[in-house]
Amino acid sequence: MKSPDKNTLCTATESRSLLQTITAPFIKMKQNLSGFFKKESRTSLPSTGEQVAKEEGVDAELWKTRALEDFKSWLSDMPSETPPSLSVTPDTCDLYTLLSEFTTLKQEIKMQNREQHRTLKAMTRIQAMTDEYQEIMGRFNDKTKQIATLEEGIRKETEKRTAISFLDVRDSLVRGKKTCVAAAGAKGFFRRVPRELANIPKGYEMAIRKFDASLALLDIYPLETDGVAFDPMTMKALEKKAVNGMSKGTVVETVSGGFRQGDEILRYAQVIVAD
């Protein structure tokens, strides 16, 4: 309900003044009657019944005269037309309008309380659904991580099994390169080395580099073995051989190359160690 403005307050003041004007004669009559009966109760009873009737007749006439004068004065003060303050319009502030506004406000408050209760109930349901959704999403994320881990394991195992089948190909390329180099270096008085033989090791070397680049895409790298100290964590010794100029425990020859994938040894290198 909107607050009354200045005009409404003025109209309410006029209504209050008019109400006081209308009720003033009745209040005055009540005061005269009260004073009359109080006066009679304090006065002692007369000795004879005739004197009591006479005094009561005189006082009653006086009271009637005063009452008539007050009533005439009240009638003369009454306006000829009904003041705007007594008409029931939306701009007035009489008791009827005030009661109507309070009733409307009460109904609006009840409706707001009901809507608030419904909203609170709906929010409680939404919160419950949100908690349930979060629980489901938590389980879904856990299952997704498990599936991702399983998929990663399957992928790595598949790559490992596929790559192992091609590691022997690299060993063949390495042995072919060594054989070509050895053949190109073997010269004799009655033996001539073909000119094309010197270019064959370069072709083997190029093939080995491309092969290693393909393995690197799978995070697979060859182990260094020739000329390094024997490492039992990455190598397997097939035999020991005495070699002049090489210290004991040094890898003399690599029979089968070793490979690692990340921190895991994919295949141990098979080597010959100096004794």
Q: What is the CATH number of the domain that holds 270?
A: 2.30.22.10
Q: Residue 2 has what DSSP assignment?
A: P
**Which of 93, 115, 135 is the last residue in one of the domains?**
93
Q: What's the mean pLDDT in 47-58? A: 45
Q: What's the mean pLDDT in 118-141? A: 88
pLDDT at 228 over 50: yes
146 lies in some domain:
no
Q: What's the mean pLDDT in 128-134? A: 87
pLDDT at 46 over 50: no
Confidence tier at 43 by pLDDT (50, 70, 90): very low
22 forms beta bridges with none
pLDDT at 49 over 60: no
Q: Could you give the C-alpha distances from 12 to 19, 82, 86, 99, 154, in angstroms and in order?
A: 11, 15, 9, 14, 90
Q: Choose between 14 and 212: higher pLDDT.
A: 212
Q: What is the pLDDT of residue 147?
A: 92
Query: Phi and psi (nearest 5°) for 256?
Result: -140, 125
22 lies in some domain:
yes
Which structural domain range is residue 51 located in?
Answer: 6-93
Domain count, the chain: 2
- Which tens digit of pLDDT belongs to each residue from 86-100? 554 555 556 777 778
268 lies in some domain:
yes
Range of weakest confidence among 88-102, 132-146, 157-171, 245-259: 88-102
Joined tokens for residue 54? 């006479």
28 lies in some domain:
yes
**Which of 75, 93, 111 is the last residue in one of the domains?**
93
Q: How many CA atoms lie within 13 A of 165 on its CB side?
A: 5
38 lies in some domain:
yes
Range of weakest confidence among 30-34, 74-78, 157-161, 264-268: 30-34
Q: Which of 22-26, 40-44, 62-66, 252-256 has the highest mean pLDDT?
A: 252-256
The Cα diameter of the chain in Å comes to 190
Element housing 17 (H / E): helix 6-42
- Sort strands 269-274 and 235-241 into parallel, antiparallel or unpaired: parallel
Q: What's the mean pLDDT in 209-216? A: 90
197 lies in some domain:
no
Q: Which residues contact 173 (CB under 8 A, 6 or more apart)?
A: 204, 207, 208, 211
Q: What is the pLDDT of residue 72?
A: 78
Confidence tier at 161 by pLDDT (50, 70, 90): confident
240 lies in some domain:
yes
Nearest to 76 by CA among 24, 133, 128, 115: 24
15 lies in some domain:
yes
Q: Which of 1-10, 23-32, 64-73 has the highest mean pLDDT?
A: 64-73
**Which of 93, 116, 142 is the last residue in one of the domains?**
93
Q: Choose between 3 and 77: higher pLDDT.
A: 77
Q: Choose between 19 and 247: higher pLDDT.
A: 247
